[in-house]
Structure 1
Amino acid sequence: MPLPHRVTLARVEEAARTIDPVFLDTPQYSCEALGELIGVHLLLKVETLGPIRSFKGRGADFLVSQVNDDRPLLCASAGNLGQAMAYACRKRGVGLTVYASTRANHLKLDRIRALGARVVLHGEDFDAAKLEAARVAAEGNARLVVDSLDIETLEGAATIGLELLKLPQPLDVVLVALGNGALFNGIARVMKARSPGTRVVAVGAQGAPAMIESWQAGRVIEHERVNTIADGLAVRVPIPEALEDMQGLVDDVHLVSEEVILRAMRLIHEHAGLVVEPSAAVGVAALLEHTDLYRGRAVGTVLCGGNLTPEQMRLWLGPVLEVQA
């Protein structure tokens, strides 16, 4: 018998009542132009228009709302969780230190600092920064917040699933980016409970396959390094609890190439007028790589973040911008 899932629908509904409304009820609509190009009925759920341009505001705001002691908070982040935590902590007067890698997106780091949090750079990737944050928290009087382990991060992300249920017709498939797991596991938990006919597909980057490989193998598989532009998916060391959360929720998985992620970003910009980061484009990338699997079906995907530096925009979206000019 499978273990009961850590996420309960009652808590997800509580999160939807508690989270700052600025993060809720984000746009979700049929993108006809891009859908016709791919050959699907495409629904985009846009999480990039709020104050931190990322879905992580939901889980962070719910988590900080539940804090009931005076300890400062620590977290590790590739950038978006750090911004979300900084926003929520500033609102409630809670101290926060964010650990990030020396290669982290400088736009995201600047925004974390502007929101009042302290930033410590350590190591060459997210997992190295997370290990340092855990060490410091263990030695001091601080709480370490771990995305996808702390249940509030899943409960907040799961509110996206509640909003998808408001669509006039249920989706045949929802393609969800798989990083540490909060976004996928939160949404999938709601969809499996309330829309069981909807297939839920996890999408990762070929250059960071640890989560999907671990789920396929039924055990944690770690990698020495990652190599992907999708920094939000660049997990080397999966969280065991996140893998356990995936049990019974995954209908299929895809690992998409860097080349197709870039193509998806450009098509989203060209046909939807939206700037998204690589992690947010992997659902569309999966459609481009596996068109025959989804042709003619109603497919949704979550554009989960949109924090690009000007240099990244020129490098990755430059061909589209030049054509439009």
Structure 2
Amino acid sequence: MSPPPETRLDTARIRAARRVIDPVFLDSPQYRCEALEADLGCAVTVKLETANPVRSFKGRGTELVAALLDENGPRAAVCASAGNLGQALAWSGRARGLDVTVVASRFAPAAKLDRIRALDARLELVDGDFDTARERAAAIARHDGVRLVEDSLDIETCEGAATIGLELVEAAPPFDAVLIALGGGAMATGVGHVLRTLAPGVEVICVQPAGAPAMTRSWHRRRVVTTESTDTIADGVAGRRPIPDVLDDLLLVADDAVLVEEASIVAGMRGLFEHAGLVVEPSAALGVAAILEDRDRYADRHVVTIVCGGNVDLDAHRRWVGATPGHGP
């Protein structure tokens, strides 16, 4: 076994995290999805991170954050969110009696915003994108003296997500590559760290929309590259300003970072719906999109794709996947 990469993450802490995270977020379904395989030309294992109360993998990390706040304080937290982190922090905070504020773009999907409100969090909407919300959340934390939860920068969010990697290594049959949606980097660095440590022969491939390429460009250039804007339906991974510490970790654990087009993301969502019966948000279809765009790379290999979230506006989902190609709307 290879020595662990010198990231900020620690494998022993990741193993211990499973004793802290509510079991409802652990041991998510993972299975060979043969119905997808004929279309994609490779063996595909789906790791389904939507079968939990917040319908995304984010609860694994917020459970660790909330447990620390419950034990050591302060008993209030604020985060910026495209929707999924906010739901997860609201859920974990409510379970422990914490005061949670979520800052989000007013253009975030209504379904995600409604769920944050339903989980008793205070929701503040800002004009602008996720990075604008991140600036506002930091200002609230400074003014009110509460904990600022920063996804991917806070090691708990990465090590919580890393428990997905432990489950893959322990339960899945041998596989050749894992495709991971890349946004801020918590899931990519977390799962990547575990695979580098425990299954170093597995290729770790990060996938990002071409309309939100900042972290992928940064990975290839080995330095932080920012963008002025984003243009993608995959709102959950649409950041403009990578975090340097997270990029440093990603450079150690990822074998590749690729960009996919919007049409491929939609095709991936359609494939997961038609062949696997899964209603997913665009970010969750990035792995399938990557296979669709580069079939030769994955041909005759066993690939894991992490279906990372299912919080999608149903009207938008119908617009994206309801039309069969060549048959109109």
Deviates more, 1:3-12 or 1:106-115: 3-12
Please name the residue that 1:211 is paired with. 215
Please name the residue that 1:25 is paired with. 27
Match of 2:67 among 65, 77, 89: 65
Equivalents in 2 of 1:145, 1:21: separation in Å? 22
Equivalents in 1 of 2:56, 2:321: separation in Å? 19
Please name the residue that 1:282 is paired with. 286
The runs of 5 or more residues in structure 1 that have no matched partner are: none
Please name the residue that 1:156 is paired with. 160
SS in 1 for 2:204: strand
Preserved CA contact (<8 Å) 1:62 1:152: yes
Deviates more, 1:133-142 or 1:227-236: 133-142
Preserved CA contact (<8 Å) 2:211 2:261: yes
Preserved CA contact (<8 Å) 2:82 2:236: yes
Please name the residue that 2:313 is paired with. 309
Alignment TM-score, normalising by the size of structure 2 = 0.95
1:78 aligns with 2:82: yes
Task: Give, in angstroms, the shift of residue 4 of structure 1.
Answer: 2.5
Deviates more, 1:35-44 or 1:152-161: 35-44
- How far does the alpha carbon of each residue in 1:155-202 deviate from its partner, in whole angstroms, 9 at most, with x for none? 100000000012352210001000000010000000010001100001
Please name the residue that 1:202 is paired with. 206
Equivalents in 2 of 1:250, 1:168: separation in Å? 20
Match of 2:92 among 78, 83, 88: 88
Match of 2:48 among 24, 38, 46: 46
Please name the residue that 1:185 is paired with. 189
Equivalents in 2 of 1:129, 1:309: separation in Å? 21
Equivalents in 1 of 2:59, 2:68: separation in Å? 14
- How far does the alpha carbon of each residue in 1:44-87 deviate from its partner, in whole angstroms, 9 at most, with x for none? 00011111100001001111111111341000000000000000
How many residue pairs get aligned? The number is: 320
Compared with structure 1, are the counterparts of its residues 290 and 63 closer, same or farther at alpha carbon in structure 2 (3 Å cutoff)? Answer: same
The runs of 5 or more residues in structure 2 that have no matched partner are: none
Task: Give, in angstroms, the shift of residue 3 of structure 1.
Answer: 8.1
Compared with structure 1, are the counterparts of its residues 3 and 53 closer, same or farther at alpha carbon in structure 2 (3 Å cutoff)? Answer: closer
Q: Letter of the aligned partner of 2:6 in structure 1?
A: P
Equivalents in 2 of 1:307, 1:206: separation in Å? 21
Q: Letter of the aligned partner of 2:15 in structure 1?
A: E
Task: Give, in angstroms, the shift of residue 139 of structure 1.
Answer: 2.1
Preserved CA contact (<8 Å) 1:188 1:249: yes
Preserved CA contact (<8 Å) 2:219 2:257: no
Off by >4 Å, runs of 4+ in structure 1:
none
Listed as ranges, the matches of 1:95-134 within 5 Å are 95-134=99-138
Equivalents in 2 of 1:196, 1:63: separation in Å? 28
SS in 2 for 1:26: coil
Preserved CA contact (<8 Å) 2:283 2:308: yes
1:37 aligns with 2:72: no
Equivalents in 2 of 1:214, 1:260: separation in Å? 22
Match of 1:294 among 295, 298, 312: 298
- How far does the alpha carbon of each residue in 1:113-132 deviate from its partner, in whole angstroms, 9 at most, with x for none? 11010000012210001011
Q: Letter of the aligned partner of 2:67 in structure 1?
A: S
Preserved CA contact (<8 Å) 1:71 1:141: no
Alignment TM-score, normalising by the size of structure 1 = 0.96
Listed as ranges, the matches of 1:10-21 within 5 Å are 10-21=12-23
Task: Give, in angstroms, the shift of residue 247 of structure 1.
Answer: 2.1
Please name the residue that 2:242 is paired with. 238
